[in-house]
Structure 1
Amino acid sequence: MQRETTEGYAAANGVQMYWRSVGEGGTPLVLVHGGFGLADNLDDLAGQLAGGRRVIAVELQGHGRTADVDRPFSSEAFGDDLAALIGELGLGQADLLGYSLGAQASLRAAIQHPDRVRRLVSVSGAFRRDGWFPEVLEAKAHVNSGLFEQFRHSPPYAAYAAVAPDVDAFPVLMDKTGALLARGYDWTEDVRALRVPTLLVFADADGIPPSHMAEFFALLGGGLRDAGWDGAQRPESRLAVLPGRTHYDVVQAPELPGMVADFLA
């Protein structure tokens, strides 16, 4: 069924954040893309989740249609921006789903603004920088504008160039993203104190080892005991590891929409 799409910009801490909305009713769900991504990357997921609820895909500072501002990238700032957008759009309390870089931003929004977030879905995100495989950290360390000539022939750049207000800003996006990826972080105690029910989703061939997935889930109260024959000891949060998927295609997994819809319901 074809659903009407609306779009616009919301003022969020000095950032004019682009958003695109489909569906109506229910608790609003905000979708947050990964690094170098766009709202468009989540169009299929948005369409599948928009039955009976409003789904809003956004673009973070410096990504896609959202112009950059004079501020470094940080997961904490992105989290504040998401909370500000929820307030600016009058959503009250919203659900959040973030992928990769967007998962880090969404997790920080839930930690910093639990009054704005009802439920959280974190797809392929780590709560501590060393939760990523060493080879992934090594690759992250080399992200900067020096790779621009190589990157300009990639699909992410073509998608960016088609919509960005300043196409020449892509090298800055690369440098700011590289600085963010190189930054150390450890949110162990923040996650342990988090009271927002959370669905953790990973690929079984993700950039994050299963040991970190289990540790993440344990901090949320999961995997610590048998749920009992009646399920009474089952935690509010959930863990899903999707088979045959990687960090780069986990959002396209056919199981994901149903799993998310069930959790948010």
Structure 2
Amino acid sequence: MPSPAPFLRRRHPGLAAALVLIAGMAALTAPSQPLYAQSPASKASDTTAKSKSRSGYAEVKGARFHYEVHGDLASDKKPLLMLHGAFMSGEAMKPLVTPFTASRPVITIDARGHGRTGDIAGTFSYDQLADDAAGVLAALGVKRADVLGYSMGGSTAIAMAVRHPALIDKQIVISGSASLDGWVPEVLEGIATLTPEFFAGTPMERDYKRLSPTPDAFPRLVEAIKHIDTVPFAYSDADLRAIPGKTMIILGDADGLTLDHAVKLFRLRGGSDIATATQGFMTAPPKARLSVLPATSHIGVMAEAATIAAQALPFLDEQAPPMPEGFF
């Protein structure tokens, strides 16, 4: 069957944009599709990490949320909470989980309506998703954590930092927005037209049914995602400036998130420091970091796990940027 993409681009550009995102998510969640090639060494480290993993359910305000812990929460290392995107699960974040587990415990959560958490009545909001995740951390006895979120999870990471500043330290926001208008309008227009029937027989629907304790509730998840991506939300400039922890923002140069929004968020979080710009060098870790990955789409970001880890680990470890030799 020929691809409908050319027709959609001509007749329904918004839907075409949304379907590109959805098709990419389906590829990410399909268990038969390897997300990245593993060398023998990485396979060995993955096996070691898996042997130290545990999973379970946390009760939060009458709802049960599936989690997985990679590593030892009793260690002296600050945990990293990892939040997935829409139509994904904690399991689908494996490419990003693996590079971080060598240096710190990593916690993944299946958000409400997703993965092994399954259907939870009601619509979604980012405030609600943030409170859910904070409740899971409390159930696990975590008093303070860093957070990394992708797409829907990136917006949730921002919401957690705004609503739970005593719980969340550093935030890594990957292709996530602080307001609905941070997204390319055509993408939102396309998402608003999605129906459960579009997903019939797709890897995304199959993976949902494989993981979910409520396998027949996929149509409600579609409606919930449409709701969260059509109802305006925005964290104020004052809210964003007041976040105490440091922030790293990562996106592709062809992302569904606009570059303008990412730069605005970077500046609100303390980026574009004039003193550093005028002196030409940086002597201490900055309050905010911005990474724009070249030739990278919203979905393509998830193929850049190694690059993201190489940039994010120094941020989490509070390493000062290196000084080149021969200037002073």
Aligned twin of 1:171? 219
TM-score (norm 1): 0.94
Q: Which of 65, 76, 83 is the equivalent residue of 1:32?
A: 83
Aligned twin of 1:68? 119
- Residue by residue, what CA displacement relative to the aligned partner does 1:35-89 show, whole Å, maximum 9, x if unpaired? 0111111112111110021111111111011032223211001101111111110
Query: Which amino acid counterpart does residue 223 of structure 1 have in structure 2?
Result: S
| Ranges in structure 1 where 5+ consecutive residues have no aligned partner | none
CA–CA distance in structure 1, aligned partners of residues 233 and 220 of structure 2? 22
Structure 1 counterpart SS, 2:294: strand
Query: Which amino acid counterpart does residue 258 of structure 1 have in structure 2?
Result: A
| Ranges in structure 2 where 5+ consecutive residues have no aligned partner | 1-44, 318-328
C-alpha displacement at 1:16, in angstroms? 0.8
What's the C-alpha RMSD, in Å, of the aligned pairs? 1.6
CA–CA distance in structure 1, aligned partners of residues 97 and 159 of structure 2? 22
- Residue by residue, what CA displacement relative to the aligned partner does 1:184-224 show, whole Å, maximum 9, x if unpaired? 01213221222221111101110122222111111111114
Greater mean alpha carbon deviation, residues 251-260 or residues 171-180: 251-260
* Mapping of residues 186-205 of structure 1, within 5 Å: 186-189=234-237, 190-205=239-254
* Mapping of residues 1-265 of structure 1, within 5 Å: 1=45, 2=47, 3=49, 4=51, 5-24=53-72, 25=75, 26-143=77-194, 147-189=195-237, 190-227=239-276, 228-232=279-283, 235-253=286-304, 254-265=306-317
Question: Which structure is higher in helix share?
Answer: 2
CA–CA distance in structure 1, aligned partners of residues 122 and 196 of structure 2? 21
Query: Which amino acid counterpart does residue 169 of structure 1 have in structure 2?
Result: A
C-alpha change, 1:149 and 1:71, in structure 2 (3 Å) is closer
Structure 2 counterpart SS, 1:182: coil
C-alpha displacement at 1:108, in angstroms? 0.6
C-alpha displacement at 1:232, in angstroms? 4.7
Q: 2:169, 2:244 within 8 Å by CA — same for their partners in 1?
A: no
Structure 1 counterpart SS, 2:94: helix
Query: Which amino acid counterpart does residue 119 of structure 2 have in structure 1?
Result: D
- Residue by residue, what CA displacement relative to the aligned partner does 1:119-162 show, whole Å, maximum 9, x if unpaired? 1111001112111112112112223xxx2222122222121111
Greater mean alpha carbon deviation, residues 228-237 or residues 96-105: 228-237
C-alpha displacement at 1:251, in angstroms? 2.3
Q: 1:141, 1:178 within 8 Å by CA — same for their partners in 2?
A: yes
